[in-house]
Amino acid sequence: MEKIKSAPTALDAVPEAVQKKTGEIAESGETYLETILVIKERRSNGLVRAVDVANELKLSKPSVSRGLGLLKEKDLIRIGLAGDIEFTPEGRKMAESIFKRHQYLTVFFKSVANVPSDVAETDACRIEHVISDKTMKGIIKYLKDHELV
């Protein structure tokens, strides 16, 4: 059974760390936050710009720029003069939460539902935005009780 990879930064209070604050940002905003986090962790310099997010998500740069502008308005990211994207503390916390939900759901689908990896990833990406905290906590408890994470 596959274990969850460690988060980009340690989040030991797992159930609290994956709690979703409903109504704060749209699904696309959550996707942008998670994508920024993944790109930052993949790169040695941690530098991410709008074009990187657009390329990763296969979206137009103007669409991503609008979405990033909304995240900036909500004080989740800052965009430097050179276009580099940095998280605010709240933005990083939210990105890590989204990332963890995605990981837990992927492990659950693969290990419990015996779903192929590609399907598990796709479904986790869709569901991570709408799953309730109560259901997410139940999944985490199940995974821990069965030593899958």
Query: What's the whole-number mean pLDDT along residues 7-28?
Result: 51
Query: Which pLDDT score, from 0 to 100, does residue 25 have?
Result: 78
Query: Which pLDDT score, from 0 to 100, does residue 13 have?
Result: 38
Average pLDDT, the chain: 86
Is the pLDDT score of 16 beyond 50?
A: no
Q: Under CATH, which number does the domain 26-145 receive?
A: 1.10.10.10
The token pair at 4 is 């969850």
Query: Which pLDDT score, from 0 to 100, does residue 55 have?
Result: 97
Query: Which pLDDT score, from 0 to 100, does residue 15 have?
Result: 40
At 26, the amino acid letter reads: A
Distance between CA atoms of residues 33 and 68, nearest Å: 9
User: Could you read off the pLDDT of 40-51 as tens digits, one per residue?
Assistant: 999 999 899 999
Domain boundaries, the chain: 26-145
Classify each residue of 62-82 as buried b or exposed e, where b means 16 or more C-beta atoms within 10 Å of its C-beta. eebeebbeebeeeebbebeee
